[in-house]
Structure 1
């Protein structure tokens, strides 16, 4: 046993609470043992969660170990709080455990081929764990930490490999149920998007060159996408174009040509506004095999009015039906993980209605005139350009005695 005065205390570099779902939390601490040739085979710790008033709502005890000159993760998963919401918390390590002389052992495990996909939807990390030694190992705990561009941890997951043969390898899989919440940077676009542009070509769009301005602004938006992105285009009036004007493609010039061809139909009577069909046609295209699964699905819908189609099949006099149906279609799209932007052009739009269609209020944009549309599409393009989590750390741990 080592005298406590001769050993440095364990340092908790950071501790964080990650919500899993209502009443369930993962609590994580990143810990460093800076001692050379001094370790602790048994390290107790306590997990505590607090509500907004500072009251303790959950407490759990656990035990781990600390090897010489090691950084390691304490991962306490599925901490339950019932119907209470945890606002703060973390992991505490009481300084009461004994230290022992222990030789530092070279890490026999290596991590290779780390690949993170779906950071903005359902994140999944794959990696390969390799045993560099001629000795088989059991019960290998492996923790993955995802950091954003600011160095803040935004996701932690843990798994256990029951056995890894000498010089063997094992594929690792870490998943998260929800998108990472991370700081966006606009200098890089590491998260590709599949974006459907949906543009109103109803009769009212002829006023003061609205449709012409929309075509120009939409084409400029396409030019701002990266080579990894795909874009499609559908225009709508009484109905959406069938087939759609341009399916998803990475050939941006094809999309721009389709946008340029958009006109207000002069035959077939009055051209009404069917926002629901414009959104639904976009959603349908994002459901085809042309959509890249690891790209973020996005719909950008522009209109200058309120929905007037489709008609209620059971009561054509029901003027609220087009609006209610559009809301239903938008909610279904958002439930599928599609990001929905809405643009209201001119003074005749219903701001509250369009704000409700969008993913959240900040995804609704208003343009008083066609001259402002370019700036609106520019801001949307900038918001799409979101840098991916920049650091992935995967830490395998093995107890000294195997």
Structure 2
């Protein structure tokens, strides 16, 4: 090969390298997008699209099924009922927020009386209570209460679950007339806790729930306590054997 041809080849190769450096590499860097948990692609060792691996959202294969333990409704005054359900989440580090649910109240002939829909959170590794109050039933009497989630929870990894909410005391008064329960809720953690639901369930000697209610604490500072009171306008259907008070709050994301 003559020197002229070699010079042409060297010149052509130099031009190609120049174009790669000046145009190709910047174009690649501009067009290339690093994998993320929001790109709609199963990558970076994810178990599903944008789920599992390094992502906060979890794949369904990573969680155990939750269980609705029981659901009931209770007359507050004629034509007005409260409803409550208890749900067990056995997953130690998986929770869900904004999960839609439904309470359905049926009469003795399994005819629907009323339906109430709402949304709740599911905290990790806890039995949570879901409450709806003031459900109107007219002159019909509920005989069965059905609670169900309306869609699969969108599970996410929870690294900082809410801990430290305790019930320090509980006292029942006026059981035979207009019952009242006074209790003290403590925050034993080292962080302020917001949007605390405090749900109470009253049980008879057969350990059957006979009444429920709810109150809300907007914020409970760390290492502090606050009294709460629950009242009912008419006496319970049975003598009280057990009082269950559950303080719960949405987990921190």
Partners of 1:179 and 1:11 in 2: how far apart? 32
Q: Deviations over 1:245-299 (max 9, x none)?
A: xxxxxxxxxxxxxxxxxxxxxxxxxxxxxxxxxxxxxxxxxxxxxxxxxxxxxxx
Q: Deviations over 1:344-389 (max 9, x none)?
A: xxxxxxxxxxxxxxxxxxxxxxxxxxxxxxxxxxxxxxxxxxxx52
Match of 1:17 among 45, 50, 73: 73
Q: Tell me which residue corresponds to 2:190.
A: 134
| 1:395 and 2:246 aligned | yes
Aligned 8 A contact 2:100 2:119 in 1: yes
Change (3 A) 1:148 1:102: same
Q: Give the secondary-structure state (helix, strand or coil) at the position aligned to 2:240.
A: coil
Q: Tell me which residue corresponds to 1:166.
A: 222
| 1:85 and 2:108 aligned | no
Q: Tell me which residue corresponds to 2:209.
A: 153
Partners of 2:60 and 2:97 in 1: how far apart? 15
Change (3 A) 1:49 1:150: same
Alignment of 1:96-111 (within 5 A): 96-103=152-159, 105=161, 107-111=163-167
Partners of 1:151 and 1:392 in 2: how far apart? 10
Q: Tell me which residue corresponds to 2:232.
A: 176
Aligned 8 A contact 1:69 1:104 in 2: no
| 1:35 and 2:91 aligned | yes
Aligned 8 A contact 1:142 1:159 in 2: yes
Change (3 A) 1:133 1:9: same
Q: Tell me which residue corresponds to 1:118.
A: 174
Deviation of 1:95 (Å): 4.7
Deviation of 1:105 (Å): 2.6
Runs in 1 of length 4+ with deviation above 4 angstroms? none
Alignment of 1:188-227 (within 5 A): none
Aligned 8 A contact 1:38 1:100 in 2: yes
Q: Tell me which residue corresponds to 2:18.
A: none
Please report the TM-score for the alignment, with normalisation by the length of structure 1.
0.46
Partners of 1:35 and 1:166 in 2: how far apart? 26
Question: Unaligned stretches of 5+ in structure 2?
Answer: 1-56
Q: Deviations over 1:27-51 (max 9, x none)?
A: 1101110112111122211111122
Q: Tell me which residue corresponds to 2:35.
A: none
| 1:69 and 2:125 aligned | yes
Please report the TM-score for the alignment, with normalisation by the length of structure 2.
0.72
Q: Tell me which residue corresponds to 2:62.
A: 6
Aligned 8 A contact 1:140 1:396 in 2: yes
Alignment of 1:276-315 (within 5 A): none
Structure with the largest fraction of helix: 1
Deviation of 1:133 (Å): 2.3
The number of residues matched between the two structures is 197
Question: Unaligned stretches of 5+ in structure 1?
Answer: 183-387
Aligned 8 A contact 1:9 1:95 in 2: no
Partners of 1:26 and 1:72 in 2: how far apart? 17
Structure with the largest fraction of strand: 2
Match of 2:105 among 44, 49, 61: 49
